[in-house]
Structure 1
Amino acid sequence: MQTDEAPLLSPAHNGAGLGLCIAAVFLSGEMAGSGVLALPHALSNTGWSGLLLLVMFAINGAYIGFRLGTCWEMIAEHYEDFRTHELVRDPYPLIAERTGRVFGQGWGLALRWVTTACIVLTLWGGACVFIILISNFLANLVPLTAMGSCQWLLVVGGVMIPVTWLGSPKDFWPIAIGALVTTSSACILIIAQIVMDSADQDSLSNCTVISRATSLAFISGPEFDPPTFKGFMQAFGTIMFAFGGASTFPTIQADMRNKSHFKWAALIALMVLGVIYTPTSAVGFFLLGNCVQDNIVDNLSAGPIKIVVQSELEISLCVGQIRLAFGRRPST
């Protein structure tokens, strides 16, 4: 008899694919990236409550992972055809369709298309953010060319098109490890550079206009304006976006060896994400106050560390584009 503690999907139904640790790294890598850049500014719009929002959305992401994981286990337990990843190219819409069929065949198809539309819109919005950030970084890293961020936008978009032809996440798990390593390293360097800039107040004359504002914040002390409704809602969306990634959850679970382990992989991934996001956001907010820019990298003083950070985040964002291709895979 099936108990609440027993996995819905028995080990015999699990085939080759991602393990628990690799899946957790994959989830962490595919969610980390752009949130690191914008969260410090989001905290400046929310104040102390922003830290509570970070915790709340981390818990919410873990809960979503648990629920989606259980849903897919139930689908695989009741429909034998869906127990291998080779037969499932779009698990998220499939969950919606099978759930809707409880109310009728038409409801199942309707919910499938609604879910697909939501996923496509989510991934399209995320892709736009990533491509714009990549283009801006390239324009800063390659200043000698006549190409601005708008021209780089076309180049990046064209180069990323073949990414949409990639197959299953289990075949490209090393890219998730690369994304997690580069993002974590960039966060450490960002924190180190901000702390060093706060101690090196004599370098004000060598700073850019943006960095000069940063140095003034260090000299006079950070200032904190009270949150406004508009600023709070903007920050709310930024923090929510930083913990986005649920559209790829069922796709990754479908490629796991033991699909009942996905819930724990999601929990580990959100804990890792919290460790990455919280220190960077807190240091940027408490040391810079209102002077923190929309992109925290713009607050760093010019130098080798800033170049390395931009390069690492460039890699992380490119990998983020690849993971977006996994979120909506066409049915075969």
Structure 2
Amino acid sequence: MPESQTKEKSRILAPDTKTNQHPLWKLNVQGKDKPDDDDDEDVDISSSRPHGMNVMTTAVFIVGQVAGCGVLALPKALNDTGWIGLAVIVMIAGVSVYTGVLLGRCWILLRERRSLSLDHEARQPYPAIGQAAFGKHCRWLVSFCVDFTCFGATVVFLLLASQNIEQLLARSGLEISFCVWLTIVAAVLCPLSWLGTPKDFWQIGLMAALTTAIACLMILVQLVIDAPEMPRAFHGPIQAEDFLASFGIISFGLTGHESFPTIQVDMRRPESCGESIHAYRAINQYRVATRPKGPHYI
């Protein structure tokens, strides 16, 4: 390779000694030396917020969002995967926490290297990270994935909540159609979607975390009470189809990345998001602890 090309390549790969910024960063993020300026459309980066959520509130919010899903989904998945399911849960939980921390660092890096007004609010931080990495096409892809995940999860929870309410009230003699309950639940929860960002409804996250913790505690107490009278459980051989389906359920129950950047934006100190995500790891261990144990259940 000619010496001139080698020097040019080194100049591109090396960071700027004055600004300590990578030239490729300017090319992909700052909009310099690129023909299409539309890549920076609607990318707003926020700063530290004096009235944002602290680390504890953020941790509770993440726990409230993720824990309930896992409590509902993991028992059946663990039953279908057997003992290896415990290792799968630990592995996916570790990967989820690690990637969540990396996602938070990406947002901090983007916020520090982006020279925009500090008064701007980031409405779509996850797509903004994707755009900074690979341009507007990645922004569209990330937006689609986030919207598709949120929509699909919402449909599942609406169906599950309506079915549980129908079965619970049916035991009391109140017969109301599942379709009617689905409409009622959707109408009650719809106004909550009109709220702004997580800092505007952190109380809901606290309520979700408390109700999930109470439910897990009740499960543990009932397990202790029923254990002496329960026969030994029998588990057949693990089927490949059931294992793969359970793997997807476990992955779904231990995720939450689509909302991590949005929660981080509303933090008083966004760089402390990693501390809050570690609370997510702790609650995963707690949820595994609520699984039936002993010869009567395993």
What range describes the TM-score normalised by the shorter chain of this pair? 0.7 to 0.9
Q: Distance in 1 between matches of 2:182 and 2:273?
A: 36
Does residue 1:166 correspond to 2:195, yes or no? Answer: yes
- 1:237 and 1:231 mapped to 2: Cα distance? 10
| TM-score, length basis structure 1 | 0.71
Measure the CA separation in 2 of the matches of 1:52 and 1:82: 46
- The structural deviation recorded for 1:176 is 1.3
Deviations 1:31-74 (A, max 9, x none): 01132123122111111111111111111111111111111011
Residues 82 and 88, structure 1, Cα contact 8 Å, conserved in 2: no
Query: Match for residue 327 of structure 1?
Result: none
Counting only pairs closer than 5 Å after superposition, residues 186-205 of structure 1 correspond to structure 2 as 186-199=215-228, 201=229
- C-alpha contact (below 8 Å) 1:76/1:83 kept by paired residues: no
Give the Cα–Cα distance (whole angstroms) in 1 for the partners of residues 296 and 268 of structure 2. 45
The answer (yes or no) to whether the contact 2:162–2:185 under 8 Å persists in 1 is yes
Measure the CA separation in 1 of the matches of 2:276 and 2:257: 13
Relative to structure 1, the CA distance from residue 274 to residue 82 in structure 2 (aligned partners, 3 Å threshold; closer, same or farther) is farther
Equivalent position of 2:289 in the other structure: 279
Decide whether the 8 Å contact of 2:166 with 2:175 is kept in 1.
Answer: no
Q: Determine if the alignment matches structure 1 residue 127 to structure 2 residue 168.
A: no
Return the alpha-carbon distance in structure 2 between the equivalents of residues 244 and 78 of structure 1: 28
4+ aligned runs moved over 3 Å, structure 1: 285-289
Partner of 2:167: 140
Partner of 1:112: 139
Q: CA deviation at 1:83?
A: 4.9
Change (3 A) 1:130 1:138: same
Q: Does 1:93 align with 2:127?
A: yes
2 CA distance for matches of 1:77 and 1:286?
54
Contact 2:92 2:254 in 1 (8 A): yes
The residue number in structure 1 matching 2:3 is none
Letter paired with 1:97 = Q
**1:78-104: CA deviation from partner (whole Å, max 9, x where unpaired):** 1133755x521111111111212xxxx
Percent identity over paired residues: 34
CA distance, structure 2, for counterparts of residue 147 and residue 192 of structure 1: 31
What corresponds to 1:215 in structure 2?
A: none
What is the identity, as a one-letter code, of the residue corresponding to 2:226? D
Q: Could you list the runs of 5+ residues in structure 1 that have no partner in the other structure?
A: 3-12, 101-107, 202-217, 290-332
Gaps of at least 5 residues in structure 2 are 1-18, 21-46
Q: Secondary structure at the match of 1:56?
A: helix
Q: Report if the CA contact (8 A) 1:253-1:262 is conserved.
A: yes
Match 1:70 to one of 98, 105, 117 = 105
- 1:182 paired with 2:217, answer no
Secondary structure of the equivalent of 1:246? Answer: coil
What is the match of residue 51 of structure 1?
Answer: 86
Greater RCO structure (CA 8 Å; 6+ sep): 1
1:250 maps onto 2:261 in alignment: yes
The structure with the largest helix share of the pair is 1
Out of 6, 26, 34, the residue aligned to residue 61 of structure 2 is 26
Question: Which residue of structure 1 aligns with residue 275 of structure 2?
Answer: 264
**Alpha-carbon distance, 1:286 to partner:** 5.9
Deviations 1:214-259 (CA, angstroms, capped at 9, x unpaired): xxxx23x111212110111111011111111100000001011111
Seen in structure 2, the aligned counterparts of structure 1 residues 233 and 83 have a Cα distance that, compared at 3 Å, is: farther
Cα deviation digits, residues 298-320 of structure 1 (max 9, x gap): xxxxxxxxxxxxxxxxxxxxxxx
Per-residue Cα deviation, 1:256-279 (whole angstroms, up to 9, x for no partner)? 11111011211222222321x111
Corresponding letter in the other structure for 2:189:
M
